Amino acid sequence: MSAHLTSVRIDRSLLAGPVHVPVQIRCGDGPPDGLPHALRDLDPARIALVTDPRLPRGHAARVLRLLGAAAPTGVLWPDGDGPLVVPDGALAVALGGSRVIEAADRARYADGTRPALVRLPTTLRAMTDTALSVAGPAGRLATPALVRIDLEYLATLPPHRLRAGLAPLLRTVLAVVPASAGRVASRLRPGGGYDPGTLASYVSLCLEARAALCSHDPLGRGPAAALRYGEPVARAVRGLAWPGLPYGDALALGLRAAAAVSRRRGLLGPADEAAHEELLAAAGAARTLPEGIRPQALAAAATGGGEEARMVLLRGLGDPYAHHGSLLSPVSAEELEAALAELVPAGRRIPVPDRDPDRARIRVPAGLDAGLPATGGAVSRK
């Protein structure tokens, strides 16, 4: 991101069925920070900040100061995929990337009820995707009281993480709003160097597209399923390549694989598949499977070891194919493997990966909580 921070102040709403979520996009100097004021409107007795020890400490310190102006604040670090118990009556505030956002969605009081929730995403993927989702665990609505997107957090990300974070934007353009492809592509930079105005326009595009799809389909079971384009392969790649591969690179490979399956079925024409390639190349997106990942193993992971995966396929840009009324079409493991083989560079010899599935889990080492400024709370671990 450019060192020169242009002032950005955008207020939008995400309407998804009965859900109304205020979304604020901010960057640079401007009016006094409105976060404490917005939190006071929620009248919290206390606040539980859900965050990640790997987040730059300056981010956490700044947010803790702002939260402390609204109510006594403590810190919780999620560990694993289990429930996250917050103090009774506390407002849960998620500060971090997608993993933290998803963990905060699992936050519960001791009696099992949900706390009010505020999302403060710090990665581009979270800003354009996870923080804007209202489809929560077990097919229920997760309704944040506020999503506040501060683009200044992106200034601390390395270029490859910022590049990978563009993948949800590319998916949105290809599967939902192809008319924006030229405008988006003209501002893409494979080497990074995005100014806040450009990033704000990308976040706004993803927000508007999601709002249009989710207004009558908040859980993504109908038209909003288009936002799952590329997802089955992305999850499978991430599972096999974790932790070294950013989610955005996995999603870029998922988009390429979904386009290849669509073309092989005679749904997607050569020009539209070429449009995929042009947009992904302009963003510097991942092109080939990571070293050591075999198409056969990846297809098996995407199908869950079964005979088929359920995938969004396209008949054209922005035109998902409906299979018996559903945007999720069955794709056999063999069909998917053939498409994935196109993502292996010619001449590469791929060994059988030696993986321990237990290594995919992250554990927060003891002692990392030392020095985090927090009041009125404690660090929670499973």
Q: How far apart are CA 312 and CA 262, in angstroms?
A: 9
227 vs 321: CA distance, rounded Å: 13
In contact, 229 and 329? CB cutoff 8 Å = no
CA distance 135 to 150: 23
* Better-predicted residue by pLDDT, 373 or 331: 331
Name residue, tokens 């997607």. 268
Q: What number of H helices and E strands is found in the chain?
A: 13, 13
Nearest Cα neighbor of 160 from 187, 185, 130, 190 is 190
pTM of the model: 0.86
The model's confidence at residue 380, banded by pLDDT at 50, 70 and 90, is very low
pLDDT tens-digit profile of 50-73?
A: 999 999 989 999 999 999 988 999
Q: Confidence band (pLDDT; 50, 70, 90) for 43? A: confident
Mean of the pLDDT values across residues 345-351? 64
Determine the straight-line distance between the first and last CA of the chain, rounded to whole angstroms: 36
Model confidence band, residue 131 (pLDDT cutoffs 50, 70, 90): very high
At 1-35, the pLDDT tens digits run 444 457 899 999 998 888 899 999 999 754 446 78
Q: What is the pLDDT of residue 348?
A: 65
